[in-house]
Structure formats: structure tokens, C-alpha cells
Chains A and B, each alone.
Chain A
């Protein structure tokens, strides 16, 4: 039962262009969404998050969009840089009770930014 799905295993973009990474979820109880970036031999690092009461959150070159009706979120990176090349994980959680803080991750998308 894959509650969080990243259907694109990989994405390749040119430096300076926009990278768009997509994520779909099935659990309507999810109310907080996060993106993590992972370099080889390192643990995932937090990138950006969004609460379900918002539809957009920006942090520098990174913007996350949330479409609750479609149960879809996306991460936009503009402009893309070679250092952005990594695996990107989408994660979701539902607040309250014992499930608080429990993250459900997607499978990840490998982003490669070419100089």
C-alpha cells in the first residue's frame, strides 16, 4: 500500500532551467508535507515543507505547490544548479495522536542537473 508515490524515478535538466518534481498521495488524513534531499552516503536533509492549509510555500529557489483536491504536490527548483543533483524524497504526515511525526516517504526521484 504505497500511500505516497513519486512516479518519476529520474529527471534530467539543464543548468539554469526549471526542475519540477512531482508527488501524489492517497491518504486524505495527511496534513503536512515535506521534501528531503539526499546525497550518496548521507542521510536525507530537510528542504522545504507545506501545511495543508496552504497551497504554496517558497524558500529561495525552491517552491512547493499543494493541490489538495488532486492529492498532488510538486517541488519547483528555479534556476537549477549542478549542486542540486541528488535524490529527492517527498514525505507526508498526519497530525495528532500517536501518528504525530510519523513520516511516510515516496520512492524518491533522482535529479541530475547538467552544466
Chain B
């Protein structure tokens, strides 16, 4: 079974530029999550999708971050414009939505904002 795929793996941009990350979840997984992991901290949930609907985006900085999951499969996360404090690893995860709560994570995209 293929895992969660993310691209790119690394991205370096200057502040005020825009950037987009892509995620392809495990086939058949209805729930998709985007997390932000700042160095030295645990992952923090940014947004949760159930199929193509948003379940929770309470911690998403909506003035600069946006995410979509068209057709309920792949997802993209965009930052526009980027700030220095957005430097982090952006992790995508998916789950079947069953009661075990187990989420499968992709390798992440490391973003550096200069």
C-alpha cells in the first residue's frame, strides 16, 4: 500500500513570496490533515478535511493560508504572502476515519522563508 505522498520535499523562498504544497493521501482515506511543525515543537493541526469538506480550520491563519481538497482526494496548501515565522515542516496526514484515530503521515515539506 502506497503511503502519503508530498511534494516538494524542500522549498526556500523569500518573505512576501507565495508557495504551495501538494499532498496525495492513502487511497480510500476520507480524512486529510495538514499540520505545521516548527523546530522543537510537536505538529500543530492547521486544517482537517472530511472528503472535500472542511471539518476544522480553527488554527489556520486565514489571512495568508488557504487549503483545498477538490474531488476529495489530493490537497494543496498555499501560503501567500509568506512570513519568516512560517519556516517549518508542513506535514500531510490521512486516515480512514474509523475509530482507531490512527493517522498516517507523509514525509513533509521543509519550508525556509528568508
Contact = CB atoms under 8 A, between A and B. Distances in A.
Q: Do A and B actually bind?
A: yes
A46 B95 CA distance: 12
B72 interface: no
B55 A98 contact: yes
A93 B41 CA distance: 18
Interface residues of B, number: 26
A99 B56 contact: yes
B56 A106 contact: no
Interface size class on chain A is 20 to 34
B88 interface: no
Given A43-B4, A43-B91, A43-B93, A101 B103 contact: yes
Given A49-B100, A101-B97, A44 B56 contact: no
Interface of A: 4, 6, 32, 34, 36, 41-46, 49, 89, 91, 93, 95, 98-108
Given A89-B43, A106-B42, 7 more contacts: A4-B42, A43-B91, A46-B104, A89-B42, A98-B55, A103-B43, A107-B42
